[in-house]
Amino acid sequence: MDKETRNDLPGIQWFPGHMKKAQRLIEENLKLVDVVIELLDARIPASSANPMLAEIIKGKPRLIALNKSDLADAASTKRWLAYFRAQGIPAVAIDSVKGRGMKQLVAKAEELARPKTDRFVKAGGRPRAARCMILGIPNVGKSSLINRLAGAVKAKAADKPGVTRAKQWIKIGAALDLLDTPGILWPKFEDQTVGLKLAFTGAINDEIYDREQVTALLLSVMRRDYPERLQERFKFKGEMPEDGLALLEAIGRKRGCLVKGGVVDLEKAQNIVLTEFRSGKLGLVTLDEVPQAPATEPAGEERGDEA
């Protein structure tokens, strides 16, 4: 994001009381699990990673799952997988809605948990399923993932943050038990671009920030990085407005978001842009760049597309 855009970022902070409770819940129950599955949004792998979690789960085997990979740029997702693996963190790309990568995810979780489950049996205990905790920020797709793995609606899913509020154990066949937990955000975004990307993707409740400003900034980013997507989706002929707010107004006119006097209904236009971006109708987009040159992709570690 360029300096001109960065200087105009809205202040976005969100850490309601139930998230503090969620943090305590995670800390209290961490001893019950063998491995932690951290669910990230493949469109923003860095921005959707809660830095508090790394400290909280320190010492536990950790598996990263890049969810919503169907909405992210495939080449970028491959680079992110290579990056995490180069850090010694197993990672898989998944689509919890369509079920892609599920077998790969379960197999890797079982593999990471095996040292502990084997020790348990050697110490005289009865063989048991691997126990996993699924962690992630709100609206990253935890409930959809659990529902897909369980094959039934076990966790309430909704396309908005803050749905899961209490822990629940969910059995996945005979080999895996999942402990679901509420999503948590961190108390302060040190980099306001992080808060902005979370707002773009819907991880933050739309009611707590200036939606007009955020939508205008999203359009500025899209115009800079993916101009052809905007031209194709909104049928622009020739040059598009450079200013994000002017671009929002132009889109509103093209979509007929007009009120009395021919004035554009900006709220309706905002809804169109945010909804279409979040659903992938503006194309496959990755907003976070890999922070360093990716390592060579190990053989056999391609994205799993099995159901």
Phi then psi dihedrals of residue 304, to 5 deg = -85, 130
The answer to whether the CB of 287 falls within 8 A of the CB of 193 is no
Q: What angle do CA 192, 194, 197 make, to 5 degrees?
A: 115
Q: How far is CA 229 from the centre of its chain?
A: 21
Q: Binding residue per annotation — 96?
A: no
Question: According to the annotation, is 95 in a ligand binding site?
Answer: no
Cα separation, 258 vs 127, whole angstroms: 65
What is the rounded distance in angstroms from the CA atom of residue 28 to the CA atom of residue 7?
A: 40
Cα gap 41→141, rounded to integer Å: 8
Separation CA 76–CA 69 (nearest Å):
10
Was 271 annotated as part of a binding site?
no
* Residue 76 known to bind ligand: no
Say if residue 254 carries a ligand binding annotation.
Answer: no
b/e map 68-83, b = 16+ CB within 10 Å: bbbbbbeebbbbbbbb
279 is in an annotated binding site: no
Angle between helical axes of 192-201 and 211-225 (0-180°, round to 10): 90
Please indicate if the annotation marks 141 as binding a ligand: yes
205 labeled binding residue: no
- Asked whether residue 139 is marked as a ligand-binding residue, the answer is yes
Q: Per-residue DSSP letters for 257-274? A: -EEGGGEE-HHHHHHHHH
Specify binding-site residues: 67-70, 139-144, 183
Specify binding-site residues for GTP: 67-70, 139-144, 183
